[in-house]
Structures are given as C-alpha cells and as structure tokens.
Structure 1
Amino acid sequence: MSAESDHTSFTPHAPAPGAPAELLARLRSSARAERWVVAFEREWTAALEESRRTFSLAGLYEVVQDWQGRVAHASAVDAFITSGYDDSDAIDMAELRGRRR
C-alpha cells in the first residue's frame, strides 16, 4: 500500500518572477500601448487585491498568462482582421453559454 494520494492536484504554471515587469515593458512598447497598458494595470491591481484577500497567487498567474497570450496572438488577430475574413457565421459565446443553463 502506498502513502501517496491516488489523485494529483492541478497547480497552475507559475510565471517567472520578472514576468509581470517584462510583460508590462512589452505592452508599453507595443502599438496598442495606449489601451493595453491601462487594461493590464487594472487587471493586475484587481488580482493583487484578490491575492492579498485570499492569500492565493493563482489570480496573478492568470493575469500574466492571459496577457502573454494576447501579446503572442496579436499579430494573428491583426492578420485576420485585415484579411477581410467574414466571421458573420460565428457563434456568440454568451448566447451559447446561456443555452447550457
């Protein structure tokens, strides 16, 4: 018999300690700086407050990972928008979520 648990808990991947500062520097140097810096700082501040209240870093990790994803995929989104692709047949996710309830 083993003393180990029969299940594993999920721990979100922790970004590097300097990731938030590096990310903010990238946002400040981007073409979207005017909108993105303000939005990142707002989300980061909210996550910090939540972290202080709950003693959990998960919200901070989530903000960094979300913004890293936005930065990484920004050029693909720009290409899609400028290509003139028709997305009129897309499904509204809010409507889809509403159907499940």
Structure 2
Amino acid sequence: MPEPTTHGQSQPRLLPRPLAWRQAGTGCGHPSEPPQPDHTPATPYAPAPGAPAELLARLRADRRAGQWVPAFERDWAKALDDARHTFSLTPLHEVVRTWQLRVAAAPDADAYLDSGRDESGSVDLDDVLDGRP
C-alpha cells in the first residue's frame, strides 16, 4: 500500500526481498552487488610460526630419531629450495603438516604392530608411496 510523502506524492512501500533471493549468491541482497560464491574456498593449511622447530624437537626426542630427523631435514631442505623458486610457503607448510600427521599416527602404528598381528603378507609403505613422505 502506498505511503504518503511530505510533498503529497505516494511512494510504494518497499517490502523485504524473499530470503531465497538473498541466498542465491547475490551478496547481502542489494541488486547492485556482484554475485558472491555460494561456497567458501578452503583456506590452505598454515602452521604456527614455531611449528617447524617444535616438530623437530619432538622428532629428536622420539625413539625413531635416527631415521626421522634426517628424513625431516631432507624434506625440509627440498621444500625450502622449492619455496625459494616458487616464492610460496606452501611446500614448507606441506612438509610440516605431513610430519605432524606422521608423528601423531606413530602411537597407533606402534600399538597395531605390538598387537601381534601377522604382517608377513603386507606391503612396505615406502613401496606404496614411491619414496614420498
């Protein structure tokens, strides 16, 4: 229903737009706004600034330090070289994340191996991963 204005003219009453129109990817609902994506892009993993040093300390304290520390340092050196060439920290973040997951999974792997299961027919993980961490 039109509402009177101070000049005696009528203006149509503005009704709120339907909610479905707002959810259709048009921002907050204003027609002049460009459409917004209907999903949020995944934020790449970025470890805390001290995470590599903390991770290396954990690796050095682990019973597998003799194998893990040189492997981590080799992966880190390669990722650092890649980062220099690409100007991206992503290779370094991936190394930290991979090794954090490896360290976190170690107790479960130990428990499985200590359970006495027969592993004679299994495949070596290095063969499956083809040398990748």
TM-score (norm 1): 0.78
From the superposition, tell whether residues 61 and 82 of structure 1 become closer, same or farther in structure 2 (CA, over 3 Å). Answer: same
Provide the residue aligned with 1:57 in structure 2: 89
Matching residue within 105, 113, 120 for 1:73: 105
Residue aligning to 1:18 = 50
How well do the aligned residues superpose, as a CA RMSD in angstroms? 2.2
Aligned residues: 93
Q: Indicate the structure (1 or 2) with the bigger Cα radius of gyration.
A: 2
- Which residues in structure 2 correspond to 1:1-101 (within 5 Å)? 1-2=26-27, 3=34, 4-5=36-37, 8-86=40-118, 88=121, 94=128
1:36 counterpart letter in structure 2 = W
Percent sequence identity over aligned pairs: 55
Distance in structure 2 (CA, Å) of the matches to 1:10 and 1:51: 21
Unaligned runs of 5+ in 1: 95-101
Where relative contact order (Cα < 8 A, 6+ residues apart) is larger, the structure is 1
5+ residue gaps, structure 2, are 1-25, 28-33, 129-133
| Structure whose residues are more often helix by fraction | 1
